[in-house]
Amino acid sequence: MTAAKGLFLTFEGVEGSGKSTQMRLVAGRLRGLGHTVVETVEPGGTRIGKQIRSILLEAAHQELSATAELLLFFASRAQAVDEIIAPALAAGHIVISDRFTDSTLVYQGAARGLGRDVVIELDRISCQGIAPKLTLCLDLEIEAGLARARSRNRQAGDTETRLDDESLAFHRKVRQAYHDLAQREPERVKLVDAGAGIEEVAAEIGSLVEPLLAPCEN
């Protein structure tokens, strides 16, 4: 149930799949068509969310428990829903989020083994019934994506790498869980081959988004 009149889109995918680049491209394209587009990112997105992000992702925070991790991802999300997503949708805008509850389903629910039910229940508590209309899941071989992500982290001197640093087996479970999700909800969750060129991927994403667009107000 989406209690709002705007359009909510999310980007999902394994590490290094190029989802942030594609999100910027589609946002620019939609703005070019005259839509108001609000972009947000998880964890983060808000001032409070950025602080939660650093607790979650800082590589030094090895002792963070799986339950605390789960709850912090939802704390960041609840703040983003209240502060950014719900108001923008109520105003009729397009909202695009770089990751949302599907990330928690696959990383914490599946790869960490906490299960689907607890994630769905926390979503119910945190998200005001707001759910994405379309989820673009960028799919890539784990090895290629991790190599990309890790070299980017090194170059940027990024220390928010606690999740990137998880084992290959963990990231394989993440990818498998995205595939399972796409099979479970084929209408909403679309797997996009991120191994293709940037323009090709952007064109595929465009063709999935365009049918959902309402005529814009201006």
Q: Which residues bind ligand TYD (CB under 6 A)?
A: 15, 20, 42-43, 57, 73, 99, 103-104, 107-108, 160, 163-164
Least CB distance to ligand TYD at residue 188 (A)? 17
Minimum CB separation of residue 73 from ligand TYD in Å reads 4
Measured from the CB of residue 197, what is the shortest distance to ligand TYD in angstroms?
A: 20
Nearer Cβ to ligand TYD (53/190): 53
- Specify the residue, 4 or 163, whose C-beta has the smaller distance to ligand TYD: 163
Contact 16, 199 (CB under 8 A): no
Alpha-carbon distance values, 179 to 44, 106, 114, 183, 203 (Å):
25, 10, 18, 6, 21
Q: Which is nearer to ligand TYD, 43 or 132 (CB)?
A: 43
Nearer to ligand TYD, 17 or 88 (CB): 17
Across the beta sheet with 134-139, what order do the strands follow?
Answer: 37-41, 94-98, 7-13, 134-139, 189-193
Task: Kindly state the smallest distance separating residue 40's Cβ from ligand TYD, in Å.
Answer: 11
